[in-house]
Amino acid sequence: MAAPNSLILATVDHLARFAPFDSMAREHLIWLAERLKLTYYGKGETVLGPESGPAQTFYIIKQGVIHGEQDVVRAQDDTTWLELHEGECFPLGALLSRRGVASTYRAGRDTFCFELAAEDFHELLKRSDAFHDFCTRRIANLLEQSKHILQAQYAKSSSDQQSMSSPLASLIRREPVSCAPETPLREVLESMHKLSIGSMIAVDANKKPVGIFTLHDVLDRVALAGISLDAPFNTVMSPNPHTLPPHALAHDAALVMAKHGFRHILVEEEGRLKGLISEKDLFSLQRVGLRQISGAIRNAEHLDTLKHSAKDIRLLAHNMLAQGVAAEQLTQIISTLNDVLTARIIELELRDSPAKDIEFCWLALGSEGRLEQTLNTDQDNGIVFATQAGDDAEAMRAVLLPFARRVNLALAECGFPLCSGEVMAGNPKWCLSLPEWQHTFADWIDHGDPTALLNSTIFFDFRPLYGADHLAFDLRAWLRDAARNNPRFLHQMAANALRNRPPTGSVWDFFTGQGHILDLKLNGITPFVDAARIFSLAVGGKQTNTLQRLREMNEPLHVSSQDTEAWCDAFLFIQLLRLRLHHEQCERGEPLSNKVDPDSFNNLDQRILKEAYRQARKLQTRLALDYQV
């Protein structure tokens, strides 16, 4: 085979500056370059449109700009929904599915494109794994590159540090030590001493874990309790220990430890003990004190201690972001620790309050209800309380409100600002009995006008945080039936959601307020949150978390897993940008905000953000089609 000429090599060098070509083997780039032709399009000229039939060409922009328009009526303000620049390519979806394009692609200015025939595109998919991975997992592939850059910028720990995405099976260091529940306590303690282990697991005849005992338990359960060392092990062990499967992630174990204050998690597979994961296994390399923070919160007796713990939560979040912990995991950890802190404030305020005699549940709403809190979050909460025949709801509310207001004020001192819209448990409007909540939701669902529904959206994300969980679960079950049986309500919710469009045209042409600014919350994650909420209500979903809502709608709405994961990846990338923004603002001592100058992003992040907004538009298109908005 003849050596490639200088023009081919120059094309290879040019392509290698951009994803995915920068990760492809040089032989595959040469093969590609040899089959490309260069075409010129004048400003305003149509490159490709729906009328062209099945896509026959793969385009790579060499120079210029291509606009993607939803239709050919260029006079509309929102026709341009995508802007592609040098190194970007299209139309991947149409080529992969061998169909026509849904948008019109037009030159935004004088533009040169490399073009590859469709049959060569499909051949390249077979030849190059890197190219195939990019085309089928475009946003996920770009996110991997961004993650590597982020870790290079922020990582403070060693390169062999365990990831919070590691499966628990990879963290098991040795075979677990176990015994029968009837084993004498003396024998158990001798074994623990001889083997230098900090815990013993009781298993039944089938090796199923039925209890655990740790050195931490010796003082309380043996020495101070005066238990005979001849007593059987099952008299001092903690029964029914919490277990996770081997494929569960380190972050799942971390959340359980934080939520319950555990030091150990057992790994169980098909009913048999497989291993034990300790706090040390999870965090000794990471040098983060998640359980220590959780423990300090649980043992706190004064608000000053909790204020310090709130600062520790933010510091922990910064450290974990620097260590490359994924946005989904990090927001869940932040929200879980905030839950623990809120619960402790409630416990302290209940001690001397008559409210402790009322059966109630503290509700987390909004981002906390969705387990999606970042470092910049205010309070959104409420109370649902139980009533019996003859109970006076107003009298019960009068008892609960002073307690709820004290909790709201304490949370504000811990760094969670009071909600500007007064969506808080200390507001009589949101401290309601179960029938009153049902009446409130029914009024929104059956009679709500668009403005009322717009203001009510965060209430549909509630989950129990403290107290009588069954009240929240009963309300959720009632809401599922009420919402999915009212098409008018869902149509109005969809219409409201579609008023908030992601940036159109050039991402950088979208302005909020004064200046060249993007709002990563309002015009970033909110379109995903709103659409996921509506689809969840429509199918009677049980989840409140946006990602879980998107994933649970797959089967009932016949959505492809590829589309779902692309939407999830896009949502997570914008969340990551928010977390990074808040981290940098904290480092500079600036007030936390979701508004950012898009020019501050590097080229890769700008490209992924454009792709994320494209996915938001696709999700909204599905919403518009389903509800004819």
- For 512-565, the pLDDT digits (tens) are 445 678 899 988 999 999 999 999 999 999 899 999 999 999 889 999 888 898
pLDDT classification of 185: cutoffs 50, 70, 90: very high
pLDDT at 202: 95
pLDDT at position 73: 34
d(CA 334, CA 330): 6
pLDDT of residue 159: 38
| pLDDT over 80 at 465, yes or no | yes
Q: What is the DSSP string of 418-460?
A: PPTT--STTSGGGEEEHHHHHHHHHHHHHH--HHHHHHHGGGG
Predicted local distance difference test score (pLDDT) of residue 304: 87
Taking each helix axis as running N to C, give the angle between helix 603-627 and helix 487-497, from 0 to 180 degrees, rounded to the nearest 10: 150
What number is the average pLDDT over the span 449-470?
A: 89
* pLDDT of res. 81: 58
Task: Determine the pLDDT at residue 607.
Answer: 79
pLDDT digits (tens, 9 = 90+) for 154-167: 554 333 344 677 78
511 pLDDT exceeds 80?
no
Whether omega before 20 lies within 30 degrees of 0, making that bond cis, reads yes
In this chain, the answer to whether the domains covering 6-136 and 168-284 adopt an identical fold is no
Residue 316: which pLDDT band, with cuts at 50, 70 and 90?
confident
Q: Residue 75: pLDDT band by 50, 70, 90 thresholds?
A: very low
Q: Tell me the average pLDDT across 332-360.
A: 94
Statement: the pTM of the whole predicted model exceeds 0.75: no
Most confident among 131-140, 174-183, 394-403 (mean pLDDT): 394-403
Report domain extents, the chain: 6-136, 168-284, 291-627
Question: In CATH, what is the architecture of 168-284?
Answer: Roll (3.10)
Residue pLDDT, tens place only, 356-365: 999 999 999 9
* Residue 19 or residue 50, greater confidence: 50
Q: Categorize the per-residue pLDDT at 507 as very low, low, confident or very high, splitting at 50, 70 and 90.
A: very low
Residue 286, pLDDT > 70, answer no
With a pLDDT cut of 90, the percent of the chain lying above it is: 51
pLDDT at 152 over 80: no
Tokens of residue 597, six digits: 């100058």
Residue 306 pLDDT exceeds 90? yes
**Mean pLDDT highest for which of 3-12, 128-137, 229-238?**
229-238
Residue 291 has pLDDT above 80, yes or no: no
Residue-wise pLDDT for 22-48, tens only, equals 889 999 999 999 999 999 999 999 999
Q: Does the pLDDT value for residue 56 go beyond 70?
A: yes
pLDDT higher than 90, residue 503: no
Of 35-44, 270-279, 451-460, the range with the lowest mean pLDDT is 451-460
Judge whether 104 and 71 are in contact, CB under 8 Å: yes
Tell me which amino acid residue 227 is.
Answer: I
pLDDT of 508 higher than 50 = no
Using pLDDT thresholds of 50, 70 and 90, give the confidence band for residue 150. low
Output DSSP code: residue 383. E
Query: Of residues 79 and 478, which shows the higher confidence score?
Result: 478
79 — pLDDT class (breaks 50, 70, 90): very low
- Which residue reads 């109005």 in tokens? 492
3-class secondary structure, 227:
coil
Q: How many helices (H) and strands (E) does the chain have?
A: 24, 21
Instruction: Return the percent helix, strand and coil in the chain, to nearest 5.
Output: 55, 15, 30
% of the chain with per-residue pLDDT over 70: 89
- The side-by-side arrangement of strands in the sheet containing 80-84 is 46-48, 104-107, 66-69, 80-84
Mean pLDDT score of the chain = 86
Q: What is the β-pairing status of strands 264-269 and 243-244?
A: parallel
| Sign of the CA dihedral with 160 first, then 166, 169, and 174 last | positive
Q: Is the pLDDT of residue 293 over 50?
A: yes
User: What is the assigned CATH class of domain 6-136?
Assistant: mainly beta
Residue 547 CB partners (closer than 8 Å, separation 6+): 328, 532, 568, 571, 572
pLDDT at 250: 86
List residues bridging with 106 in a β-sheet: 46, 67
Give me the pLDDT at residue 586, please.
Answer: 79
Look at 327-341, 439-453, 507-521 and tell me which has the smallest mean pLDDT: 507-521
| pLDDT at residue 322 is higher than 70 | no
